[in-house]
Structure 1
Amino acid sequence: MSTSPKGVAVVTGASAGIGAIYADRLARRGHDLILVARNQARLDDLATRITGATGRVVKPVAADLNNRADLKRIETILATDTRITMLVNNAGVGALEPLLQSDVDAMEAMIGLNVTALTRLAYAAAPAFVGRGGGAIINISSVVAIAPEVLNGVYGGTKAFVLALSQSLHKELVDKNVRIQAVLPGATATNFWNAAGGSHENLPSNIVMRSDDLVDAALAGFDQGELVTIPSLPDAGDWTAFEEARQTLMPNLSLNSVAARYRTADAA
């Protein structure tokens, strides 16, 4: 792989949908690519198309991130390839059915991909980026991270984890020249819905964003230095207010006395 002035971006879940669009956009921005997904044929086809359109060097790496050996292979690439400057943690699956109608084994597999694999890749990339003097980790979360009532609760829980991890990583790495961004898509026209047993075509058209628009907005948010990007949110002040309300809670979340409303008559 050649050396790009912008370095190499690793994109997981890259064979289709949001991941494939990230791959295209990052190549057009000057990144060489390592594309990770399970389907080798789709990866090869995407790599050929991107190289033909942009001239960038693209390496497809077939891997199932729920397979420990495959996951370890990608971790090793992130930790040892000094050309890598960006990780797009996009691989994930969703669920639409409520908990009482869901298969617990499928939920565990979803946690494995959405949480465990994403975390291990971030753990591989972050210290490597610090050692190299900088880098960026983009974690694809979801609006259900802050609205878990909307879809399956376990899915919402995995995406809330991604948001919380991103916020913590930002605090830890902000002074080490490592950028963190959490992207919170709403309903997006991708194969996510089919894979989860539904269809975005059954949703009101006014709430479904084109995947190209989503990625372009997310990258615009990255360029603007956002930690959290919600592509459809009209007023950035709404997120600021939400975050300020959270910060207001901070001083009182851990105190040595019980709040007055919880004191029993005997304790008074």
Structure 2
Amino acid sequence: MAKKPSVLITGASSGIGATYADRFARRGHDLVLVARDGARMEAMAADLRRETGVTIDILPADLTKHDQLAAVEARLRDDAGIGILVNNAGASLGGRFVDQVTEDVAQLVALNTTAVLRLASAVAPRLANAGEGAIINIGSVVGLAPELGLSVYGATKAFVLFLSQGLSLELGPKGVYVQAVLPSATRTEIWERSGADVNALSAVMEVGELVDAALVGFDRREPVTIPPLPDAADWDAYQSARRAMLPGFAQVHAAERYRTGA
């Protein structure tokens, strides 16, 4: 039997990343775990090694630091055994945009977008040349909903969705599967770190249920998986409406409603 590809998971010390680690280990995949807290990952890895027998490497890294991000990029470029990237590391900020510190906003963008982009860029050429592999990018339904008021966080997650869809169109024909996973509120440490009380929210999904649903979408090779959405037809209608506008974008002249005197 062919050896299963190794899975590199960012943000692997807790929450969604740690749960992906558990699920992929139990599927028989070796792991490379990336997060800032090496000790926490090592404790988790010890249990998984004992319970599943898989090989687990620990790669402590702060993905907002250029040299540490570069080390993870190098691992993705050079380790031919890694066939799946889970771009999960992310953060949020409390408060409204006008109250957020510019440097904090920049750090958020670096983690939620730049790191996602650079890691995907590091691994995609190798996977495309091999004609197989997968990239899982964790976005959020907030990226579809500016009404929720999380302007910067939502913008980063909109980026993740667009990037995933674009890469899916480009890499899919080369044999590389790209999945965007869009959770809604999920019970993870991101809330506490951003100064929010998750228990004050009316509807919060447990992280195990979220990841298990996302993996159903993964196995089905869905390009976009939205675990909380009850009716898939709603997403299909959204996509159809978006695509219906595409022919209208290619025009020599401005639309009639924008012409002077119209």
TM range (shorter): over 0.9
- Give, in whole Å, the separation in 2 of the partners of 1:76 and 1:4: 25
- Tell me how far apart the structure 1 counterparts of residues 149 and 254 of structure 2 sit (CA, whole Å): 35
In structure 2, the partner of 1:190 is 188
Distance (Å, rounded) in 2 between the aligned partners of 1:75 and 1:100: 34
Q: Tell whether 2:227 aligns with 1:253.
A: no
**1:167 aligned partner:** 165
Task: Note if contact 2:187-2:198 (Cα within 8 Å) is conserved in structure 1.
Answer: yes
Give the TM-score normalised by structure 2: 0.98
Report the alpha carbon displacement of residue 131 of structure 1 after superposing the two structures with TM.
1.9
**In 2, are the aligned partners of 1:138 and 1:183 still within 8 Å (CA)?**
yes
RMSD: 1.2
Q: Percent identity?
A: 48
In 2: Cα distance, 1:151 partner to 1:110 partner? 16
How is 1:210-229 mapped onto 2 (pairs within 5 angstroms)? 210-229=206-225
Query: Cα distance, 1:100 vs. partner?
Result: 1.3
Specify the alignment match of 1:155 in structure 2: 153
1:116-141 superposed Cα distances (whole Å, 9 cap, x missing partner): 11100000011011122211000000
- CA, structure 1 residues 104+4, in 2 after alignment: closer, same or farther (shift >3 Å)? farther
Q: CA deviation at 1:98?
A: 1.1
- Given that 1:65 and 1:113 are in contact with CA atoms closer than 8 Å, whether structure 2 keeps it comes out as yes
In structure 2, runs of 5+ residues without a counterpart are none
- Once the two structures are TM-superposed, the CA of residue 4 in structure 1 deviates from its matched residue by 7.3
Q: Tell me the residue number matched to 2:85.
A: 87
Matches within 5 A, 1:193-204: 193-204=191-202
Letter in 1 for 2:27: R
d(CA) in 2 for partners of 1:225 and 1:8? 18
TM-score by length of 1: 0.95
Asked if 2 retains the 8 angstrom alpha-carbon contact of 1:97 and 1:151, the reply is: no
| TM-superposition CA deviations, 1:62-103 (whole Å, max 9, x none) | 011011010000000000100011000000101231101211
8 Å contact 2:137–2:180 — kept in the other structure? yes
- Amino acid of the residue matched to residue 69 of structure 1? D
Deviation of 1:188 after TM superposition, in Å, equals 0.4
Residue from 221, 246, 264 that aligns with 2:260:
264
State whether residues 9 and 85 of structure 1, in contact with CA within 8 Å, keep that contact through their aligned partners in structure 2: yes
Q: CA deviation at 1:112?
A: 0.4
Q: 1:242 matched to which residue of 2? A: 238
Would the aligned equivalents of 1:185 and 1:230 in 2 still touch at CA under 8 Å?
Answer: yes
Partner SS, residue 73 of structure 1: helix
Task: Compare 246-255 and 178-187 and name the one that shifted more.
Answer: 246-255
Matched AA of 2:160: V
Matched, 1:9 2:12: no
**C-alpha contact 1:5 1:30 (8 A) present in aligned 2:** no
Counterpart Cα distance in 1 of 2:147 and 2:40: 34
Mapped partners of 2:32, 2:3: distance in 1: 15
Q: Which moved more, 1:114-123 or 1:253-262?
A: 253-262
Q: What do residues 11-70 of structure 1 show as CA deviations (whole Å, max 9, x unaligned)?
A: 000000000000000111111000000011101101101111111111111011011010
User: What SS does structure 1 have at the residue aligned with 2:196?
Assistant: coil
